[in-house]
């Protein structure tokens, strides 16, 4: 969605540049899951996965398409006020789509355990041990007030891993500059039907389905 806005001579060019060129594009679509809804049981049950993917993520996708269409119309009309008013909806629904698209690939029925290779070495370097890293990311995720995400990200400028929390659907890279490697959704819709309001139990369970191959691949890619 993000790209440079070429028409720099127009008065609204600087405003729309970070939001993307919306004049000619295909609509966003809900990505298929790489596993069945029941594949992550008993750690995350099928009902949660079905609702989370086919309802919640789908809503972000649909709303993002609607907002982008309105934004495109506002750009065409030179309506800067409307462009500004649409930015929170772009951030929320665009972030929801970005975050969940990462989240599904971060999970696997064959997940769990510990990472290997370069990622494990980086975790030991930046957090002391895998156990320390796991404890810190869990604590940050538990501590998110209301709804949001716990993240492991890569700071490309400093060449190190960092843990961060983002509120609501704020996208990690768009709000902190960190490249997302592993995201843990702590909105209640991600766990309430199974774990009620006991977020720590959900976070204890989710480590059993973390797809470390996917996280390692993301780490290797962002280092290039």
Known binding-site residues for Mn(2+) equal 52, 100, 185, 189
Task: Report which of 2, 197, 154 is spatially closest to residue 164, judged by C-alpha positions.
Answer: 154
CB 125 within 8 A of CB 220: no
Distance (Å, rounded) from C-alpha 49 to C-alpha 54? Answer: 8
- By CB atoms closer than 10 A (0-12, 13-18, 19+), residue 43 is middle
List Cβ neighbours of 151 (8 Å cut-off, separation of 6 or more).
163, 164, 165, 166, 172, 178, 180, 181, 182, 183, 184
How open is the CA angle 69-58-54, to the nearest 5 degrees? 160
* Residues making up the binding site: 52, 100, 185, 189
Distance (Å, rounded) from C-alpha 157 to C-alpha 212? Answer: 24
Distance (Å, rounded) from C-alpha 48 to C-alpha 90? Answer: 26
């Amino acid at each position: 969605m993000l790209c440079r806005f070429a028409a720099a001579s127009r008065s609204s060019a600087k405003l729309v540049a970070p939001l993307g060129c919306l004049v000619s594009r295909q609509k966003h679509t809900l990505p298929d899951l790489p596993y069945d809804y029941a594949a992550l049981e008993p750690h995350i049950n099928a009902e949660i996965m079905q609702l989370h993917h086919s309802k919640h993520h789908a809503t972000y996708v649909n709303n993002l398409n609607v907002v982008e269409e309105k934004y495109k119309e506002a750009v065409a009309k030179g309506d800067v006020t409307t462009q500004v008013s649409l930015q929170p909806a772009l951030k929320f629904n665009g972030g929801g789509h970005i975050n969940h698209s990462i989240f599904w690939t971060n999970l696997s029925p064959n997940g769990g355990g510990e990472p290997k290779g370069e990622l494990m070495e980086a975790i030991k370097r930046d957090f002391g041990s895998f156990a320390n890293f796991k404890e810190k990311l869990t604590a940050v995720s538990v501590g998110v007030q209301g709804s949001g995400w716990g993240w492991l990200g890569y700071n490309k400028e400093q060449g190190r891993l960092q843990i961060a929390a983002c509120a609501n659907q704020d996208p990690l890279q768009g709000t902190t500059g960190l490249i997302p490697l592993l995201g843990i959704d702590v909105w209640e819709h991600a766990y309430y039907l199974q774990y009620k309001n006991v977020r720590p139990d959900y976070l204890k369970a989710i480590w059993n389905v973390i797809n470390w191959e996917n996280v390692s691949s993301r780490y290797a890619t962002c280092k290039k």
